[in-house]
């Protein structure tokens, strides 16, 4: 079983990782893709800003968190 980020830039985008996995011959029952862009998108930014108010970060479900 393979777990991959979707790497989608919006909810309605196609996942480039899914296309790559299918091109490798894998079936949908052999992998799982996250619904959001990357795993970090599942952690609300308020988790960090509540604990560390000096942090000026925000991101949404489709943002690349590394670039924030």
Number of Cβ within 10 Å of residue 23's Cβ equals 8
- Rounded Cα distance between 10 and 23, Å, is 22
- Rounded Cα distance between 31 and 22, Å, is 10
In this prediction the pTM is 0.77
- Domain hosting 29: range is 2-67
pLDDT value at residue 1: 82
Average pLDDT over the chain, rounded to whole?
94
- How wide is the angle at C-alpha 41 spanned by C-alphas 21 and 10, nearest 5°? 65
Write phi, then psi, for 3 (nearest 5 degrees): -110, 120
Write phi, then psi, for 21 (nearest 5 degrees): -65, -40
pLDDT value at residue 68: 75
How many structural domains are present in the chain? 1
Q: What is the pLDDT of residues 20-45, one digit of tens each?
A: 999 999 999 999 999 999 999 999 99
């Amino acid at each position: 079983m393979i777990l991959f980020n979707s790497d989608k830039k919006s909810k309605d985008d196609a996942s480039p990782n899914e296309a790559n996995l299918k091109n490798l011959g894998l079936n949908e029952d052999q992998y799982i893709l996250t619904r959001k862009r990357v795993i970090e998108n599942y952690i609300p930014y308020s988790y960090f800003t509540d604990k560390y108010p000096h942090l000026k970060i925000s991101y949404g479900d489709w943002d690349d968190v590394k670039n924030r």
